[in-house]
Amino acid sequence: MNLNLKVWRQQGGQSKGKFEEYSLENVSEEASFLEMLDALNEQLISKKEDPVAFDHDCREGICGMCSMTINGEPHGPEKATTTCQLHMRHFKDGETITIEPWRARAFPVLKDLVTDRSAFDSVMQAGGFITARTGSAVDANEIPIPKGVLDEAMDAAACIGCGACVAACPNASAMLFTGAKVSHLNSLPQGQAEKERRSILMVEAMDSAGFGGCTNVGACESVCPKTISLDVIAKLNRDYHVSSIKKIMRF
Amino acid sequence: MNLDSKIPEGPLSEKWSNHKFKMRLVNPSNRRKYKVIVVGSGLAGSSAASSLAEQGYNVSCFCYQDSPRRAHSIAAQGGINASKNYQNDGDSVHRLFYDTIKGGDYRSREANVYRLAEVSENIIDHCVAQGVPFAREYGGLLANRSFGGAQVSRTFYARGQTGQQLLLGAYSGLNRQIGLGKVKMHTRHEMLDLVIVEGHAKGIITRNLVTGAIDRHAADCVVLTTGGYGNVFYLSTNAQGCNVTATHRAYKKGAGFANPCYTQIHPTCIPVHGEDQSKLTLMSESLRNDGRVWVPKLSETAEKIRSGELDPNLVSEADRDYYLERKYPSFGNLAPRDISSRSAKEVCDEGLGVASSGLGVFLDFRDAIARDGEQAIRERYGNLFEMYNRITGEDPYKKPMMIFPAVHYTMGGLWVDYNLQSTIEGLFVGGEANFSDHGSNRLGASALMQGLADGYFVLPYTVGNYLGELGIDKAGSVTTSDPAFEAVEAEVKARIDRLLSIKGNRSARSLHKELGKIIWDYCGMARSEKGLREAIEKIQALKKEFWSNLSITGSASTLNIELERAGRVADFIEFGELMCRDALMREESCGGHFRIEHQTKEGEALRNDKDFAFVGVWGYNGDAKEPSLYKESLDFENVALATRSYK
Ligand SMILES: Cc1cc2nc3c(=O)[nH]c(=O)nc-3n(C[C@H](O)[C@H](O)[C@H](O)COP(=O)(O)OP(=O)(O)OC[C@H]3O[C@@H](n4cnc5c(N)ncnc54)[C@H](O)[C@@H]3O)c2cc1C
Ligand code: SF4
Ligand code: FES
């Protein structure tokens, strides 16, 4: 198939970007979206032009590296699918496809489609862990965990940290991402000791990293490639408020 | 080259405890005076960096991705082994040890493998304490599944995302230490060379992948946990950025490279769809429990299927060849990885392949669906069928799946002794980057175990011992103003300039593809003396082509994806030659290494224990000279050497 591509090009963080148009011929329907971009880049290189920079690594939907907004939708049109798992058979011959980076204050563009998502790491560093020094653990079966509790924790733990939720949100809020980690750890027996601290510190880190507030739009849930549910936000809100009140009462 | 494996004295089961007791300790208040560099943030790197930081050392950790959480370990699906014996089915440290030695086709070191089995239990305890959501039974206890090469259920798993959950656990420990200021994390940094001062590894040179800055980093020792080199084949199940650069550069600085030709080819991957293909996707091996592998008996029938003229469902029973069931009646479709892979290649070589490229065989669920019903199959494999459908657009409930082998794991790596120290003092190597535990074939669910064993439970001790032996007066004594740093930095910069100045006509990707094809054809599933000699010549010619006709746009001082790729491909080309040399040297067939000259009458691998029960370690002698081979002989005191049979 033949395609018209409108791709966001930006030299660096400080420069102004703009859309460039390219036409690409003979794209295989079997190719993945990123393989289509590889072909575009080969074409650009053969003309001695600068290839389009984009993030990617595993190309199987698990590392969370790929990150682009395709025709206005983070990760493109398919539900529960990362960009790297999107295939060209979902596009039509002759179609124009617009490709741009995540747009969010906390994710500044580094070049073309590559953004800096280290703000996510800083939220995790604030409290996204259970303190367990190597060598200090008890036998793994000493803490039985009901299957239902475990399954819920696992649902939340499936987040790949891609940032699509932030890119889709009109407020660029990171509540779905943060809620996923808090729900995972706060629902497990091992996570109880640090539950309050974690809830407060992660929300504070999220605010200071420049993410916006949540106004319950729900766009995050619909673009999330791992179908993380809005329930995690409700849980985060609950744990955060309870923890804040307890903190005040202790004063 | 000194290949003293430093295996401690005493009976197998006491070696590690004795050794730990004899180690030099560093006083807690002195630990903060030492600095350790950890390159890599996968399971091995994250676990080593966080554990060393917990002990009080200052750690700098590096990865090329934008976050340590994205290391390739994240993609592991199936599970992690441990000899917990929670199923009361007769598992033990000794059994896990034995299975791993046998699975590795008797080409690994007993003492290391025993220690791996020994610490496997601590790994599970630690991961659960971190909040890793391993699957549970209704009673709340941990669940297990069984995996290839074992007759006990010892594999722990978190749905199909075990690697993700283990890495997120290690990453959370790492994050805590980053937050506490004990680990300084350098993301989007690529290590381009190693710095050695007076024979000891004391630092690295990196390129900041965003700004292009070349930086020097000094420390008291260096740990490499940079993963495997499967991408030397261009197409593999590895992530796009996986590379051999860090280990190859260390090799060129004097570290011995062990068994580079030991690579694992996984039988059940989705076949290549065309020239644009950039990576291969693994389909879990568990599918072979119910799927039947076949190709048509006649090449004319295969041709019609390839061109889309004939629906494979219409091929009559008499015209199908269920070749695994025919050749290996007792194991059938569950024949081990290496054998299944090789058989698929053979039928495709005969023109019987069914994918449009000719490289693919059927994995057919028709009979299983007729026997157990579609619902039962959906329950067992629903998510895998979905994944297959997402990638190929075809419905495996209606049409047989197509599969083909793909490169998946590399057993070879930098040579290390019992302390995981390479032939360079102060250079430690963990995870897939070292050669240590899997011999010539790795068992499923053992790589995750090894990465975490190295990082949580071995390196924190052995690195501490090394630093203790250095002495506190040496702590922090080498700085980046040492002339050695200046010299290596100049080499790195010169190489980048050279890459950029070629200004030829070929992209790094096209050269990488060409390399991959050579390696796959000649150093893949079946290797021969003639083929390997040809491959070496072809690679040497490709190296010339690379250095005279490469095209890179852009500059060195910005984010430049082509420059990154070119540097990695240049190393893969040199390394590919070393792989072929190793395969040529090893005149036997063992595990993932199959030399067609060395097979039984029935076409099975023929090991040669008399002449080849050794680790082949290569030492670099400069670009103009051939590398030298050194041997570490393998002594089996606890396991009797035997031949594997699957008939
Ligand atoms: C699809 C797939 C499924 C798998 N499933 C299983 C399974 O079920 N069970 C099992 O046991 N094993 C499995 N494996 C194997 C296993 O995942 C790997 O062997 C293991 O995760 C490797 O871990 P590691 O820490 O050694 O390296 P990696 O996780 O590969 O990490 C390498 C790190 O090094 C960094 N790095 C690399 N080069 C440089 C450089 N030059 N400069 C700076 N940083 C660098 C990277 O950024 C990364 O952080 C699977 C592998 C694949 C491909
Ligand atoms: S919650 Fe979903 S969209 Fe957001 S980072 Fe996690 S996986 Fe991506
Ligand atoms: S490249 Fe890893 S999730 Fe897309």
Ligand 2 center–CA B387 separation, angstroms: 19
Residue in A closest to B209 by C-alpha: A110
How confident is the model over A90-137, as pLDDT tens digits? 999 999 999 999 999 999 999 999 999 999 999 999 999 999 999 999
**Segment B439-462, tens digit of pLDDT:** 999 988 999 999 999 999 999 999
Picking from B140, B240, B273, the nearest residue to A145 by CB comes out as: B140
pLDDT tens-place string over residues B617-628? 999 999 999 999
Question: Closest ligand 1 atom to the C-alpha of B243?
Answer: 38
CA quadruple B131, B136, B142, B144: dihedral sign: negative
Confidence category of residue A40, pLDDT binned at 50, 70, 90: very high
Across the interface, whether the CB atoms of A129 and B130 are under 8 A apart is answered yes
Distance B37 CA to ligand 3 centre (A): 27
B187 part of contact set with chain A, CB < 8 Å: yes
Please give the distance, rounded to the nearest whole angstrom, from the Cα atom of residue B510 to the centre of ligand 3: 22
pLDDT score recorded for residue B128 = 98
From B537, B542, B539, select the one nearest B508 (Cα to Cα): B542
- pLDDT per residue over B276-327, tens digit each? 899 999 988 778 888 999 999 999 999 999 999 999 999 999 999 999 999 9
Distance CA B572, CA B592 (A): 20
Cβ–Cβ contact B86 with A under 8 A: yes
Enclosing H/E stretch for B60: strand B58-62
* Residues at CB less than 6 angstroms from ligand 1: B 39-45, 62-65, 71-73, 75-80, 162-163, 190-191, 225-228, 237-238, 242-243, 245-246, 282, 408-409, 431-433, 445-448, 451
| Domain covering B266-408: architecture | Alpha-Beta Complex (3.90)
Domain segments of chain A as ranges: 3-111, 118-250
Q: Are B43 and B70 in contact (CB under 8 A)?
A: no
How far apart CA B382 and CA B372 sit, in angstroms, is 14
Give residue-wise pLDDT tens across range A52-83.
999 999 999 999 999 999 999 999 999 999 99
Residue nearest to atom 3 of ligand 3 (CA): A61
A chain contacts of residue B270, beta-carbon cutoff 8 Å: none
SS3 letters for B375-401?
Answer: HHHHHHHHHHHHHHHHHHCCCCCCCCE
Which residues between 409 and 448 in chain B have a beta carbon less than 8 angstroms from any beta carbon of chain A?
Answer: none
Q: How confident is the model at residue A249 (pLDDT cuts 50, 70, 90)?
A: confident
Domain A3-111 CATH (choose: 3.20.20.70, 3.20.20.10, 3.10.20.30, 3.40.630.10): 3.10.20.30
A51, B553: Cβ pair inside 8 Å?
Answer: yes
> Given this structure, which CATH class describes domain A118-250?
mainly alpha
- Indicate which atom in ligand 3 lies nearest the CA of residue A64: 3
Tell me which residue has tokens 């051999």: B244
Ligand 2 atom at minimum distance from A177 CA: 1
pLDDT in tens, A151-208: 999 999 999 999 999 999 999 999 999 999 999 999 999 999 999 999 999 999 999 9
Q: Is residue B160 over pLDDT 90? A: no
**What atom of ligand 3 comes closest to residue A62's alpha carbon?**
3
The verdict on domain B498-633 having CATH code 3.40.50.360 is no
Ligand whose nearest atom lies closest to the CA of B72:
1
B329 touches chain A (CB under 8 A): no
Cα–Cα dist B421/B428, whole Å = 4
Q: Which carries the bigger pLDDT value, residue B563 or residue B376?
A: B563
Per cent of chain B over pLDDT 90 is: 89
Q: pLDDT confidence of B644, banded at 50, 70, 90?
A: confident
Report the C-alpha gap between B535 and B261 in whole angstroms. Answer: 13
> What residue's CA is closest to ligand 2, atom 6?
A159
Q: Is B513 in CB contact (< 8 Å) with chain A? A: no
Separation of CA A154 and ligand 2 centre (Å) = 14
**Is the full-model pTM beyond 0.95?**
yes
Q: Using the 8-state DSSP alphabet, how is residue A87 labeled?
A: B
- The number of residues making up chain B comes to 647
- The three state secondary structure string of B218-257 is ECCEEEECCCCCHHHHCCCCCCCCCCCHHHHHHHHCCCCE
- Three-state SS for B488-510 is HHHHHHHHHHHHHHCCCCECHHH
Buried b (16+ CB within 10 A) or exposed e, B422-442: bbbbbbbbbbbbbbbbbbbbb
Contact check, Cβ <8 Å, B65/A59: no
Instruction: Spell out the domain ranges in chain B.
Output: 266-408, 498-633
pLDDT at B217: 98
Over residues B86-117, the pLDDT tens digits come to 999 999 999 999 999 998 999 999 999 999 99
CA of A250 to the centre of ligand 1 (A): 46
B391-396 mean pLDDT: 92
Note whether B266-408 and B498-633 share their fold: no
